[in-house]
Structures are given as C-alpha cells and as structure tokens.
Amino acid sequence: MTPRARSVAALLMTVLLVCSSVGVAAAQSPATPQEGPAVNAQMQSADSYVVEQGDMCRQIQPLSTNGTVGAFYDYRNHETHPEGVDRLYSSYGTTHLQEENTSALFLHRGTDGVSLVAVHGRLEGETAGGVASFDIVGVPNETEWVVQDDLYDGESNMAQWHRGDGWIGADWIWSESRTDGGAIRGGLNGEFALTVQPAFNEESPFYENESLYDPDFYGNGTVEDWEVLSGDADDPERSSLSLEEPVTIRTGTCDDPSVTYERTDGGIAATIDGATADDQVALQPTSGTNENVTFERVAVSGLDDAGSVTFANERPEGLLASPEGVDSLSHLTMDGDSSVDASATVTFSVNAALLEERGLEPDDVALYEADNESGEWTQVETTVAEESATEYRYTAEVASLEAVTVAESRTDPDTGDSSSMPGFEIGATLGALAALTALWATRGRGRERDR
C-alpha cells in the first residue's frame, strides 16, 4: 500500500470513529431544553394550619382521634344501622360539638389522615332545622366526600353532592332535632389551601326551593352562627365566623401569604395577598384537558405583595394547537393578572398507560410554555420527579404565567427543526468529512502528477 493510500485509509477510519461517537452521543444525550428560572423560595409549612376570613387570621389545630373521620362523625340512617339503634339521619359522634342554630367547621386528623368536616345543627336539639350550601374551592384532584349526611336511597333524601374540577360542594336541608354535614378527604396530608364559599339561609339554593321533595322540611329555621373549632377533640376552642364571607383553611402560619379561591365560569381563580419575592405559593390548578395527564400544582414565586391566577382547561386563542412537530397531550391556561414578573414550578403527572399507548419513554415527555406574542410554544426543562407502576410525576419551571402544554419532547427545544435530529447530525458529519477526504485525495493525485 502506498503512503497516500495508507493516509486515505487512516482518514476514512477516523471518519467512521467520529460518526460512531456522534451517534452514541445523540442516542444517549437528549438535547438540552431551555432552562427555566431558578427557584430558591420559601414554601409554606405543612405542619401547621390557619383559618382566614377577611383580615382575620388565626392558628388552628386539627381535632385528633385514634379512628377514621367516618367513625368520628358516626352518621346513621336506616341503611347504615339496624332497627333498635338510634339512627335519625344525623351525626352521633359529634354531639358534644353541636350547638343550636350553629354550623361547625374543623379539621380532623385520624388514622386515615387529615379531613375537613362540617356539621350543621344539633341532634335532638330544641330549634328548627336549616338550609346551607358550600362550594369548597382549591381542592386537590384526589379529594372526595368520604362522609355524606345525608346519603341514602329514597326521594326524601334531598341533599345534593357536587364534584367539579378544582372544587367540591354540597347543598343541605335538615329538620328540627337533626343534623346535616359531611367530610372531605384526599390530598390534605401535605400542603394545601381550601376556600369554603358559604351560602346559609336565604343565600342557599335550597331556601324555599319548590323543586325539592319537601321544601318546608327545614321548618323555617335559620343558621345564626358559624364556628371554626380547634384543638382538643373533646373540648375544642371555638371562634365565630361571618356567615357571609368565604373562609380559607390552609397549611402554614399567619405570616405566610394568604390565598383565596373561587369558582369561575371556566375553572377556578386564586387570589394571593401578602407575598414577597422570596415566597413560593403553592396553588391548586384545574387538572387539564386530558384525564390521563393531570396538572397537580403550580408553585408561584416572584410576586410583589398581591396577584391572582386563573386556571382553565383550555388552550388560549392565538396559540398553535401543539408545539411544532409534536402533538399536545394536555393544555392548561394560566392567566396571571398583576403578576407579570412571576414565575412558577409546575407539577404534573402522566399515566403510564398513555405513554405505552403513544410509544413514549418517560424521558420523552416535556412541558412547553406559551409565548402569546408569537403564538408559539417553548420547551422548558422537565424532570421526572417520581414514578410508580401506574404514573410518572414531573416538575418543570416556567418563566411566566400564561399557558402550558404537555407534549413529546423535541430534540431542539427552540425550533423543533428536523435538522436537530441525530440522523441529520450524523449525515451532516459524514458528508463534511467525506468532502474533506475527497479534497485531500484530489490534492494528493495532483501532487503525484507534478513529480
């Protein structure tokens, strides 16, 4: 083999080695997505609780027992208990907490975790009944009614129970000497904020509602006091609340930012007050447009005192339906009023079955944030935070509060161009090195002819 031939062979071997290393790197290292803002903010403590109404904030403690909230409430009717047992469609476990013409609200901690409980009226009391309605807004996705007073088959059961995206509710009507109420549980063992939007007496949809089986069942009774209970389960402290204003029960202290939720036509809205740039306020969003992809939390930071965020399961007008080159799996709109400088850490989960159906690996999933000015989506750094046999949980940081979507990750987070694909990079490398090889060989032949 001539020296020139040996040189060509060596150069070709180098080309193959370089291309091989490019292919391995492309297969093993996904493209680096756009980095979101760094978050180093103070989170609210999940070890303490407060109740807020208007300018009032008070530290409270759950009523703790060694049983479940269902056992503590002890609701009885003809379906839950046999004849010969007192069963007046009421709570028998909270009789020591009940008062005439009063609605009680408290947290319960038991063997099944933390629950929020409401009890209206007094069993075997001496006054008429009443009507009340609650919308409890900002509830986690797993929250459900675990105690329902009343719940039984029969037209005389007039209580109605509701579950929406981000909220849960009930309408009650009870008669003299009986109670109504219930308990919700799920997602309350960690950080949370729930806002009870009350409607007592004339404000309740059940007041003089002729569509009910017995609209006069409450005997023209009224709720005169609303109390929050705290501390000893046998003899708790009581604090009166306004019957007309919403009440928020949340984790943290009174030094933390306050949060109030309310329902909107298309979702829920959170209003934050008293925040600083160092606070990170965890908000409960709606779940998104796909039941297999759930937006679980949006932790907002960078607020200046106050702000509001509205969540809705939709894609804002003017945005592409999906990031270029991939299909969106779920959308969530975040309208950050008065919080243009705020950023957030978004937590969401994806069912493992959906990934298998789409032929995706867990690392193939990414969050994209909206740029409403350009109408395009920008991929942000997305991390698999937890995994189980049924789902994967992700976190991602976004630089604004506009809209987000979950989709397959693009190798090039900025453009999604096919030029960013590994095959193209390898081909481009091969082409460039082959051209250099041909040029070197041609020059070599030219030098040989000159000899």
Q: Chain centroid to CA 189: how far? A: 14
d(CA 302, CA 364): 30
In angstroms, how far is the first alpha carbon of the chain from the final one? 19
The pLDDT score that the predictor gives to residue 420 is 36
- Outline where DSSP puts E strands in 17-142: 49-53, 56-60, 63-64, 75-76, 90-91, 102-110, 113-121, 130-137
CA geometry: angle 385, 391, 393, nearest 5 deg:
25
Query: Do you find a cis peptide bond into 112, omega within 30 degrees of 0?
Result: no
Rg value, the chain, Cα: 30
- For the stretch 76-116, pLDDT in tens is 999 989 888 888 999 999 999 999 999 999 999 999 999 99
Using CA atoms, how far residue 283 sits from 164, 234, 272, in Å, is: 17, 33, 9
- Show Cβ contacts of residue 44 under 8 Å, excluding neighbours closer than 6 positions: 191, 250, 251, 252, 253, 256, 257, 281, 282
The pLDDT score that the predictor gives to residue 342 is 81
DSSP type of residue 202:
G
DSSP secondary structure of 365-379? EEEEEEETTTTEEEE
SS3 content of the chain, % helix, strand, coil (to 5): 15, 40, 45
The ranges assigned to domains in the chain are: 3-26+419-450, 34-43+268-410, 49-251
d(CA 261, CA 167): 9
- For the stretch 114-140, pLDDT in tens is 999 999 999 999 889 999 999 999 999
The pLDDT score that the predictor gives to residue 317 is 82
The pLDDT score that the predictor gives to residue 38 is 37
Element (DSSP H or E) covering residue 430:
helix 422-450
The pLDDT score that the predictor gives to residue 25 is 40
- Show Cβ contacts of residue 284 under 8 Å, excluding neighbours closer than 6 positions: 138, 139, 140, 166, 192, 193, 261, 268, 270, 297
Burial string for 114-128 (b: 16+ CB within 10 Å, else e) reads bbbbbbbbbbebebb
d(CA 120, CA 361): 50
Topology classification of domain 34-43+268-410: Chondroitinase Ac; Chain A, domain 3 (2.60.220)
Stretches in the chain below the pLDDT threshold 50: 3-42, 339, 412-451
Return the percentage of the chain with pLDDT > 70, whole number: 80
